[in-house]
Homo-oligomer: A and B are copies of this chain.
Amino acid sequence: MTIAEVAKRAKVSISTVSRTVHRSGPVDPVTAERVWRAIEELDYHPNTAAQSLVSGRSRMLGLVVSDITNPFFPELIHGFQDVAFHHGYDVLVNSTNYDNSRTALCVRRMIDRKVDGVAIMTSELDRSLTDQLSSRKVPLVFLDVGKVGKGVSNIKVDYAQGIAQAVDHLRALNHTRIAFIGGPSSLKSARLRRDAFLNCLRERGVEAHPDLIEEGNHKIDGGLIAITRLLQRHHPPTAVLASNDLTAIGALRGTRQAGLRVPQDLSVVGFDDIDMAQFTEPPLTTVRLLRSELASLSCNALFQSIRGEMEGAEFPMGTHLIVRESTAKAAGRLVPLAATATESLGSEI
């Protein structure tokens, strides 16, 4: 089924067929009607490879994520694809497993495929790679990393906003020993979240106690291990803020394994607000980072770049606290302690 066969059947030239299909030039309505009928009868669909070859574009978008297995990303992909699909675009998805070289390879292959743009929703990229990618002429959109430039945009998430809300929420509940379970420090987004937490405390005149900062892996098991260590501290925390919801879920489980109850004995706050968060036991108080917004923001940024409506820009994105049931008033004392009672709780969080 080629355009030539349609042309023959409609008794016109292939140029005319092309013109009527794309409405890209004058065609007599009567002729057009004949062409459409031929197309219908033959069930003709243009060969996208040919179109791609001649036009240099493919009506495909690339989407690179760190870990498709983390529920955050499927929800993001879902939204991204929806937007793309409605524009008649297909999406080439790749999950890199936090592997920088794989990211480079993925993007390279996508570019070879002449994708019209690629969204790189991983934040473990090193600068040299982002620069290298930016130098290609393909519209790009990064998440948090990435220097805005010609055709390259960046979604800038305001982690501080939601984290401040979380910290204030916890402090209002009389929590003074608030721990933090971060993500892998190799991850830019994880560092940003941790730093936002640290800064937030500092702004409020308290210093984070190093004992109360743990590093997880942004997965459930990491959260479980981290909370276990935290609860074994001489002065365990009364509340914990996790770098993402998976980590928080691990913390929930670890707390229960330690024989403690959430939120009576320990308050837990997550980050992301994945769908699952409302169904944990207890439902998770968490900072919402709206995937659907992230998805449409990034996808639309790409489309704007593609249409040449924009040179590349920075898109701010807010976060805010969703209070559910995993946080409550701090208990007087988490576990009976043999330790001295002379410590100054107020200043070590």
Chain A residues packing against B (C-beta within 8 Å): 45-50, 52-53, 58, 60, 68-69, 71, 73-75, 77-78, 81, 85, 90-95, 108-110, 112-114, 220-221, 224, 249-250, 252-253, 256, 275-276, 279, 281
User: In the complex, which residues of chain B have a beta carbon less than 8 angstroms from the beta carbon of A108?
Assistant: 45
* Nearest CB in chain B: distance from A215 CB, A: 19
A-B contact pairs, 5 of them (CB 8 A): A68-B77, A69-B75, A90-B94, A224-B279, A249-B279
Contact B279 A220 (CB under 8 A): yes
Taking a contact as CB atoms under 8 Å apart, the answer to whether A48 and B112 are in contact is yes
User: Could you say which of B49, B69, B75, B279 contacts A78, with CB atoms under 8 Å apart?
Assistant: B69
Q: Mostly helix, strand, loop or mixed at chain A's interface?
A: helix
Oligomer copy total: 2
**Chain B residues whose C-beta falls within 8 Å of the C-beta of A81 in the assembled complex:** 93-95
In the assembled complex, which residues on chain B have CB atoms less than 8 Å from the CB atom of A112? 45-48
Name the residue on B nearest A256 (C-beta).
Answer: B281
Contacts of A47 in B (CB 8 A): 53, 112, 114
Contact of A90 among B52, B71, B77, B92 (CB under 8 A): B92
CA distance A4 to B89 in the complex (A): 31
Contact of A220 among B95, B250, B256, B276 (CB under 8 A): B276
- Contact across chains for A71 and B71 when beta carbons are under 8 A apart: yes
Closest to A220 in B: B279
Q: Out of B69, B94, B252, which one reaches A74, CB within 8 Å? A: B69
Residues of B within 8 A of A279 (CB): 220-221, 224, 249-250, 253
- Which residues from B are CB-within-8-Å of A85? 94
User: Given A69-B74, A74-B74, does the pair A114, B49 have CB atoms closer than 8 Å?
Assistant: yes
